[in-house]
Chains A and B, each alone.
Chain A
């Protein structure tokens, strides 16, 4: 291995130079709007998050269809790559999209560990990146970049909305229960900040290692904490187990459970009666009454046969943002100031309600208060209006 990289022979060097010349020659030709623009869509199409990846991809396709397959005057070619939500292969997968598949724009992904490889590639090579889900705050805080945009949320946002709404309702003391990993702590921070802004206090954070499900030692501490409400961040199967254990511990009737929207997102079927009445906060919800949402949901259902969800909305908006950027740059992804500037100034007409982007490129959006009723997360109000992630530590060059 060492020998290979260590010895650059004259022949290798020649090849390298030839390759470089070819790419620099080719670039202007593409920029003039010759061939199709290749968009790398890196998402999980297998494994735990496969359903999320499928919905995001279908919504990207839907918007592309609405635009007749063109953005910025150029035909768009979508190249799908299954990242399997595996951080170990993330860098390799990104390189495959940019190298072998010659993608000039990237959209991805769901898993917050995998997305870091995309962010890094975008920062280093100036490739436009739109993140349609992963909510790690770093992507639009310490690791923000002119070329990195997000169409979804930061982990901080929904939990902040929940905390703020509770504080305004007169809650004084709350506890946060979560897995001990980035998304859990980042949303815990949002919950704390939201409570504080609403005049309430986060008494304690209870954590257990990811993805353990022995919640009993945490639940048994709750009665002694004398809190008015319990907030939680769990997702998927862990959320199902937690909500059920919470009800079985007899706490549900005494201390209301609430949380970041993912606690009851796509899990209500498994949670059943244990979830009834749980309030959560998220940037989307069921029964959101605006014309754009209705059109989008009908079109998505017609295309896929499935009901749209928050992931489909995020995918649709990622495609909308890409379209706005490419229109602004006349189809040239290398014209960074033009395409990034266009998205920064845009008001995106989303099914969740129109939003703009914060200076660190995260949506400035309403966080809705929802209540679980009969298998749906029904929107009952707005927890935080036009909420922006603070973007702490973001320095755009």
Chain B
């Protein structure tokens, strides 16, 4: 029983991290209609950024603002320089572009930092176990990551649901034709969404580095799982991504714990079931896919 409790906590913690990555993915897909395969690479960039910052300064907390600011800048550059030219082109062109970006990011990583597996130190102040059940403990850092993810999720909700910019983004994701009718400039919304999505992926990478180490291709696994999250939650929906990420995190963790032979399949079975039941995902309104 206590085993189940700690597994649920593992699932929630993993799910919240998935949410940080998928929220950007779902918004970018929802607003611009671009399938950004390079989103996993942005996660990797964030993780390696944390590795470099910790190696040079020893302070992980410096890496978090670097990841967010660097992510906003990198996202803006990518959107303005590349992606903007691809919104009106076919999906195949977009796939080629984002796949090329994966190769470029991996090659750059290989040239600059090599192909080694590196571990990143947990901040010393948070490097102690906190008992969560009678028999199992969590590192304090892991709990802080959980808290930061919840905080970011709350800020994102407020931003999307309660601000003017947020409602414009929602409109762009769910009813793209409404944006221009409202007299808003879709290009500024696109730039904003891409920059924020990139920043979230890089923040997730920086937070994850001490938990999972950094290694070549580390974004690939996360990317695939995050696509499942986006599809299950409903394309373009932030709350869909949130509940989808939690669901996938828990199902994946419980699958690995209680049915290891099915573990690789569990989340795809869940995705198939959700799609049969609600073809637009749990909270999807249809939007561009309709």
How many residues from A make CB contacts under 8 Å with B? Answer: 32
The answer to the question of A240 belonging to the interface, with a C-beta cut-off of 8 Å to chain B, is yes
- Give A250 to B127 CA distance when docked, in angstroms: 11
Which one, A27-35, A61-69, A218-226, A389-397, is touching chain B? A218-226
Q: Interface residues of B toward A: which range? A: 35 or more
Report A's interface with B, CB cutoff 8 A.
47-48, 206-209, 211-214, 216-221, 223-224, 236-238, 240-241, 244-245, 247-251, 254, 270
Which residue on A lies nearest to B252, using beta carbons? A217
Which one, B116-124, B160-168, B173-181, is touching chain A? B116-124
Could you tell me the distance in whole angstroms from the C-beta of A381 to the nearest C-beta in chain B?
30
The answer to the question of B137 belonging to the interface, with a C-beta cut-off of 8 Å to chain A, is yes
What residues on A are CB-neighbors of B115 within 8 Å?
47-48
Which residue on B lies nearest to A249, using beta carbons? B137
Which residue on A lies nearest to B260, using beta carbons? A207
What residues on A are CB-neighbors of B211 within 8 Å?
213
Docked-complex contact A223 and B213, CB < 8 angstroms: no
Report B's interface with A, CB cutoff 8 A.
2-3, 6-7, 10, 13-14, 114-119, 122, 127, 129, 131, 133, 135-139, 141-142, 211-213, 215, 221, 253-254, 256-257, 260, 264
Docked-complex contact B119 and A220, CB < 8 angstroms: no
Could you tell me the distance in whole angstroms from the C-beta of B186 to the nearest C-beta in chain A?
38
Docked-complex contact B213 and A241, CB < 8 angstroms: yes
Docked-complex contact A244 and B117, CB < 8 angstroms: no
Given contacts A220-B257, A241-B212, contact A270 B137 (CB under 8 A): no
Could you tell me the distance in whole angstroms from the C-beta of B286 to the nearest C-beta in chain A?
33
- Give A82 to B134 CA distance when docked, in angstroms: 51
- Give A48 to B217 CA distance when docked, in angstroms: 14
Given contacts A213-B213, A214-B14, contact A237 B117 (CB under 8 A): yes
- A/B interface sample: 23 pairs, CB < 8 A: A47-B114, A207-B260, A208-B256, A211-B117, A212-B221, A217-B10, A218-B257, A219-B136, A220-B6, A220-B7, A220-B136, A220-B257, A223-B6, A223-B135, A223-B136, A224-B3, A236-B117, A237-B119, A237-B215, A241-B213, A248-B129, A250-B136, A251-B136
What residues on A are CB-neighbors of B254 within 8 Å?
217
What residues on B are CB-neighbors of A250 within 8 Å?
129, 131, 136-137
Given contacts A207-B260, A213-B213, A217-B256, contact A48 B116 (CB under 8 A): yes
Given contacts A220-B3, A237-B213, 10 further A-B contacts (CB under 8 A): A47-B115, A214-B212, A221-B7, A223-B6, A223-B133, A223-B136, A248-B127, A249-B137, A249-B139, A250-B129
